[in-house]
Amino acid sequence: MNYTHEQLPAINSLARLVKLVAFAGTGKTTTLIGYALARPQSRILYLCYNKSVEQAAKQRFPNNVVCKTSHGLAFGAVGTRYKHKLTQNLRLIDAAKAINSQNWDLVRTVLETLNNYLASADAGIELDHCPPEKMKNERMRRAAAGVVAAARLLWARMQDVEDRAVGMTHDGYLKLWALSRPNLRSRFDIVLGDEAQDINPVVAGVLADQASYGLGVVVCGDGHQMLYRFRGAVDALNASWLNRAEVHYLTQSFRFGSAVAHVGNMILSFKGEQRQLVGLGLATRVTKKLPEGLDHRAILCRTVVGVIESALRLADQGEKIFWVGGIDGYNLQALEDLHALSIGQYDRVKGKKLLQEYPQYTFYKEVASDSQDPEMLRSIQIVEQYAKDLPALFAKLRLNAVADELEASVTLSTAHRAKGLEWDAVQLAEDFSFEPFNPNNVREAWEDEMNLLYVACTRAMQVLAVNAPVLAIMAEFVGRRDGVRPATPLVFKQDRLAA
């Protein structure tokens, strides 16, 4: 294998603590594989970000590497105790019953507080885990004590193996495993921690523990590809325990050529990045619209609603569609059930739990409005927008969906799900309702949207069709470069998502 002058120093590093900062498409996985191949006698754990990455990694890494997600490790150690009461997530209705409340805003706040705690490295649930918008003044802070007490009750019931009324989530048993301060030294010599910019503090704490126990730790990622702050993720690359790490940078991408790299650099320049992403792949084009006659193209949307609306339009044109993550991952059946509920056709509701919890559609809307639950609100938006013929439209979507991407003329995905993937031709959808230079932007939210655009743009290997926000960024960059626009600092309404 021929490695670049950037990859080789990382592969041959003798440091016990290494930080690998890898820009989009710069061969991060190839470098980690090279690192493992250079140490055939070492027992290495590759800590994968998700299950799909784990499955792909098992096909590529040598036999001295065990590929596992943090949840996979935690399930073997702790999660098996809760097999009988595992649930994907605690819904509002579940939490309301558990804490005996019909105050939906309170229930949502309790759930958010609990989830903030589960993602943290903290030992117990405290006021710090309450949503910041609920802590703006002294009266709100006093009321938050009740939220903390309810969250502690909910967490206690989750941990009770005999209490089947409150399920244990996957993040719940991960938290319990992390609280046990696991020492992996008996099984491994080195841990490779991938996607460090998007792991949450609880996993980052496990990695820090392994370094303190004497294992070799390699942490890799790209802060500009941080996409999951809204789930409690932190950029672990900036953690203080990595201050003594040996640092290596990968900036040369063989995925795309200079044109896509230039777009990426324009986005990153406004974030203050000084290093340049270098495109060494095939020549690429950046356009406003993909050329006609392509055998295949990928369309990346900001939202699930955007994906579904794009699919509805494409199905009318007879396109064969591949859904990244599978069509079932976009909750079509749940939406059909909600549609049936909305028109009173209760016999068509397949998920009977929906009927048990929300006997009337008006009650569902009331809970959604009171709690401002984003998933419920998005579902209502789709159901009411396509109220007349949603089942028929969804039947057409299933008919036009293919399981093998090679059979598809179009691949559809949210930009979040597209991370780690690549296509020859990529079109960015117009549902990125983001104004990059709006002075009312909140800095953290602005950074998240800029990261998402950077990730989306760098999925293209040959042709990239950009959308309005990227065009605005390109125009501002060129205007500043050519002296047409003043190079003034960007203005933000506030620095944090909830100040």
In whole angstroms, what is the distance from residue 219 CA to residue 255 CA?
Answer: 22
Q: Is 29 annotated as a binding residue?
A: yes
Nearest to 304 by CA among 334, 276, 281, 278: 334
CA 382 → CA 132, 276, 359, 374, distances in Å?
A: 30, 41, 20, 13
| Cα–Cα distance measured from residue 432 to residue 252, given in angstroms and rounded to the nearest whole number | 28
Over range 262-285, report the average pLDDT: 95
Q: What is the pLDDT of residues 357-413, one digit of tens each?
A: 888 899 999 888 887 877 788 889 888 888 878 888 889 899 999 999 999 999 999
CA distances from 456 to 32, 51, 163, 277, 420 (A): 23, 21, 43, 15, 10
Altogether, the residues listed in the chain come to a count of: 499
Q: 25-39: per-residue pLDDT in tens?
A: 999 999 999 999 999
Residue 494 has pLDDT above 80, yes or no: no
The model's pLDDT over 177-236, given as tens digits with 9 standing for 90+, comes to 999 999 999 999 999 998 888 888 899 999 999 999 999 999 999 999 988 777 666 777
> What's the pLDDT tens digit per position in 415-455?
999 988 999 999 999 988 889 999 999 999 999 999 999 99
145-177 pLDDT, tens digit per residue, is 999 999 999 999 999 999 999 999 999 999 999
DSSP helix/strand/coil, 265 = helix
- Is residue 74 part of an annotated ligand binding site? no
Residues 6+ apart with CB under 8 A from 245: 15, 17, 18, 19, 219
Distance CA 183, CA 126 (A): 26
Q: How far apart are CA 362 and CA 174, in angstroms?
A: 36
Cβ within 8 Å of residue 84, ≥6 positions away: 161, 164
Question: Is residue 27 annotated as involved in ligand binding?
Answer: yes
pLDDT (0 to 100) of residue 367: 86
Segments making up each domain of the chain, as ranges = 7-77+180-250, 91-175
Task: Give the residue with greater pLDDT, 134 vs 265.
Answer: 265
pLDDT tens profile 94-153: 899 999 998 988 998 999 999 999 999 999 999 999 988 888 888 888 889 999 999 999
Q: Per the annotation, does 134 bind a ligand?
A: no
User: Whose CA is closest to 406, among 295, 270, 253, 329?
Assistant: 295
Annotated binding residue at 23?
yes
Q: How confident is the model at residue 305 (pLDDT cuts 50, 70, 90)?
A: confident
**442-468: string of b/e by CB count within 10 Å (b at 16+)?**
bbbbbbbbbbbbbbbbbbbbbbbbbbe
Give me the pLDDT at residue 499, please.
40
Q: What is the pLDDT of residue 233?
A: 65
474-488: average pLDDT: 91
What number is the average pLDDT over the span 492-497? Answer: 72
Q: How much is the pLDDT for 388?
A: 78
Q: Please report, as a single letter, which amino acid is at residue 210.
A: Q
Place of tokens 């991407």: 405
The fold for domain 7-77+180-250 equals: Rossmann fold (3.40.50)
Antiparallel, parallel or unpaired: β 321-323 and 410-414: parallel
The pLDDT value given to residue 297: 97
Q: Is 26 annotated as a binding residue?
A: yes
Give me 384's structure tokens.
């009411």
The string of DSSP letters for 317-382 reads: TT--EEETT-GGGGTHHHHHHHHHHHTT-GGG-S-HHHHHH-SSHHHHHHHHHHHT-HHHHHHHHH
pLDDT over threshold 80, residue 1: no
**pLDDT of residue 497 exceeding 70:** no
pLDDT of residue 460: 97
Was 79 annotated as part of a binding site?
no
Task: Look at residue 40 in the predicted model and tell me its pLDDT.
Answer: 96
149 is in an annotated binding site: no
Q: By CB neighbour count within 10 A (0-12 exposed, 13-18 middle, 19+ buried), where does 372 fall?
A: exposed
Can you count the helices (H) and strands (E) in the chain?
Answer: 18, 16
Confidence tier at 325 by pLDDT (50, 70, 90)? confident
Which residues lie across from 48 on neighbouring strands? Answer: 69
For residue 282, name the pLDDT band (cuts at 50, 70, 90): very high
The predicted pLDDT at position 416 comes to: 92
